[in-house]
Amino acid sequence: MSLPTLRPVQVQQLPLTDLSTPPPTSPAYAPLKDGPPGGWPAAPTPIRRYNDVLLAQETAEDRRLQARADRMWLESQEYSCAEDNETTPWLKHTRWPELFRNRPLDIITASARQPARGPNRDNEDYLLGAWRGVPLRSPAAAEARLRILMRAVDDVFDRAEATLASTSYQSRCWLTSYRKGAFWNRPLRIMPRRTEEGYKSKWKRFICYIFRVLALEPRQRRQIYNVPLHADDIKMMSYISGLASQLAEGGEDGDNESDNESDNESDNESDNDEEEEDEDNEDTDGDDDDKDGSQD
């Protein structure tokens, strides 16, 4: 029995010519006779060229911002406010989006404001806005006529209130009856002060708006306001404007500081406040009716 050999099996050695060459650790470059591997750096750009590049970038940015501003302006002119759209019942009824589409709403809004009060009011024109790059103004004489008309609105309301106060209880009940031959026991009553000022302010703003429209040329009325005025309307309003001019030239002053303060407050009041007051006053109608009935 022979013992196993302890020597390892001899591995066949390959000749030196058959050994593989390891990969290079870095790429081989051609001699630097043609310059560095990445090429020579570019020549420095002159300052004038830098300025031209910056100017071109600024011009492109200005065009972008102007286009954005024009787009935002067109979107803002489509509706009077963000929540307004043509789906609301009120706008469907009034058709305001159709009437004022693509119209300058800033001029339309400014036309409905009441005339300014102040020491220099008789010498200052009222700037309504800019139409196609040209300032649109309401002359100082026209603003003086509007102040006379604002005072006339106050007189009309005061006279109507005095007439209602002197009207009998039964007649005021018949005025509120909506069926022929049916007597309603709730008489027509004087509105609360706050509600009255709200309605009065709306009438004043409408009168300012329509008379400022009248002062413009027919072409501007159509292009800016899209308000058609017929011959009878123009004749009647021109007559009223002539009477106001006579009063203004005669030294009549339509200014009233207390009325101005109340009108400004009324412009800021919401319709919800008016409805709440009406509801509160409905609860007291029964007491008023009993008093009026006992007096009759």
Task: Write out pLDDT tens, residues 247-257.
Answer: 888 776 555 54
Confidence grade of residue 30 (pLDDT, cut at 50, 70, 90) = low
| pLDDT for the residue numbered 291 | 43
| pLDDT for the residue numbered 258 | 42
pLDDT digits (tens, 9 = 90+) for 141-199: 899 999 999 999 999 999 999 999 999 998 898 888 888 888 788 888 888 999 999 99
279 phi/psi in degrees, rounded to 5: -65, -40
Q: Same structural domain for residues 239 and 208?
A: yes
User: What SS3 state is found at 288?
Assistant: helix
Q: Same structural domain for residues 81 and 111?
A: no
Query: % helix / strand / coil in the chain, to the nearest 5?
Result: 60, 5, 35
Q: The tokens of 23 are what?
A: 């990969």
Confidence grade of residue 79 (pLDDT, cut at 50, 70, 90) = very low
Is the pLDDT at 234 greater than 80? The verdict is yes
User: What percent of the chain is predicted at pLDDT more than 70?
Assistant: 61
> Does the predicted model carry a pTM greater than 0.85?
no
Q: Same structural domain for residues 248 and 126?
A: yes
Confidence grade of residue 80 (pLDDT, cut at 50, 70, 90) = very low
Residue 180 resides in a domain: no
Q: Same structural domain for residues 82 and 113?
A: no
| pLDDT for the residue numbered 160 | 92
Residue 44 resides in a domain: no
Residue 24 resides in a domain: no
pLDDT digits (tens, 9 = 90+) for 15-25: 555 556 666 66
Helix 140-165 to helix 193-214 angle (10° resolution) is 140
Is the pLDDT at 290 greater than 50? The verdict is no
Q: Same structural domain for residues 141 and 228?
A: yes
Residue 123 resides in a domain: yes
Residue 164 resides in a domain: no
285 compared with 215, residue with greater pLDDT: 215
Q: Same structural domain for residues 56 and 84?
A: yes
Which amino acid makes up residue 26? S
Number of domains forming the structure of the chain: 2
| pLDDT for the residue numbered 96 | 81
| pLDDT for the residue numbered 88 | 76
Q: Is 266 exposed, middle or buried (0-12, 13-18, 19+ CB in 10 A)?
A: buried
Confidence grade of residue 294 (pLDDT, cut at 50, 70, 90) = very low
Confidence grade of residue 226 (pLDDT, cut at 50, 70, 90) = confident
The C-alpha atoms of residue 94 and residue 141 are separated, in whole angstroms, by 32
Query: Mean pLDDT, to the nearest integer, of 113-132?
Result: 80
pLDDT digits (tens, 9 = 90+) for 81-109: 444 455 678 778 888 888 888 888 899 99
Last residue of a domain, one of 91, 124, 159: 91
Confidence grade of residue 117 (pLDDT, cut at 50, 70, 90) = confident
Residue 182 resides in a domain: no
Query: Mean pLDDT, to the nearest integer, of 67-79?
Result: 68
Confidence grade of residue 229 (pLDDT, cut at 50, 70, 90) = confident
Transcribe 184-253 into DSSP letters.
Answer: -SS---PPPHHHHHHHHHHHHHHHHHHHHHHTS-HHHIIIII-----HHHHHHHHHHHHHHHHHHHTT--
Q: The tokens of 223 are what?
A: 């292009």
Which amino acid makes up residue 112? A
Q: Same structural domain for residues 71 and 208?
A: no
Q: Same structural domain for residues 74 and 203?
A: no
121 phi/psi in degrees, rounded to 5: -65, -30
Q: Which domain holds residue 65?
A: 50-91
Residue 257 resides in a domain: yes
Residue 207 resides in a domain: yes
